[in-house]
Amino acid sequence: MTAMSASKFTPVSTPPFGPGVLGPITRDAGQALWDPDKQAMDPTRRRELQDERVRDLITKVLEHPVRLFADKLAAAGVKDPREIKGVDDLWRIPLTVKQDLRDSEASDPPWGGYRFTPPREAVRLGTSTGTTGQPTITVWTRKDLWIEYESGTRNWWRMGYRPGMIVTHAHPAYLYGGGVMLQGTYEYMGMLSLWVPPPDTDELAEQAVRFWTRVTPDIPFMGFATGRFLEVAGKLDIPLEDAGLVGLKAPLGFGLGRGGMPLMTAGAECYAYVGGPCGQSPGAHIHEDWAVVQAVDPTTGKEVPDGEWGNLTVTTLDRDNGLLRYDLEEACALLREPCECGETSIRGLWGGRFKDLLACQGTRFQLSELEAVLRGITELREPSLEYQVERPDGGDAPLVVKVEVATEDPVARDAAGSRCVADLREALGITVVVEILPRDTIPRAGYKATRVIDPE
281-310 residues in contact with Zn ion (CB under 5 A) are 281
Minimum distance from residue 40 beta carbon to Zn ion (Å): 10
339 binds Zn ion (CB under 5 A): yes
The least CB distance from residue 220 to Zn ion, in Å, is: 25
The nearer residue to Zn ion, 19 or 30, going by C-beta atoms, is 30
Query: Measured in whole angstroms, how far is the alpha carbon of residue 282 from the centre of its chain?
Result: 16
From 87-95, 268-276, 338-346, 434-442, span contacting Zn ion (CB under 5 A): 338-346
Residue with Cβ nearer Zn ion (252 or 268): 252
- Using CB under 5 A as the binding rule, whether residue 341 contacts Zn ion is answered as yes
Q: Which region among 53-61, 182-190, 343-351, 441-449 touches Zn ion (by CB under 5 A)?
A: 343-351
163 vs 283, which CB is nearer to Zn ion?
Answer: 283
* Minimum CB distance to Zn ion, residue 158 (Å): 8
The nearer residue to Zn ion, 350 or 387, going by C-beta atoms, is: 350
- How far apart are CB 301 and Zn ion at their closest, in Å? 29
* Options 51-59, 234-242, 319-327, 342-350: segment touching Zn ion (CB under 5 A): 342-350
Instruction: Give the range of 47-55, 280-288, 369-377, 432-440 binding Zn ion by CB under 5 A.
Output: 280-288
Instruction: With CB under 5 A as the rule, give the number of residues binding Zn ion.
Output: 6
C-beta of 350: minimal distance to Zn ion in Å?
A: 16
The window from 134-142, 279-287, 398-406, 425-433 that contacts Zn ion (CB under 5 A) reads: 279-287
Q: Is 270 in the site for Zn ion (CB under 5 A)?
A: no
Which CB, 46 or 228, lies closer to Zn ion? Answer: 46
Question: Residue 284 or 403: which CB sits closer to Zn ion?
Answer: 284
- Residue 327 or residue 343: which is nearer to Zn ion going by CB? 343
State the nearest-atom distance from the C-beta of 443 to Zn ion, in Å.
40
Site for Zn ion in 21-60 (CB under 5 A): none
Q: Quick one: which of 24, 47, 44, 19 has its CA closest to 34?
A: 24
Residue number with CB closer to Zn ion (261 or 278): 278
CB of 36 to Zn ion, least distance (A): 13
The binding site for Zn ion (CB under 5 A) comprises: 278, 280-281, 339, 341, 343
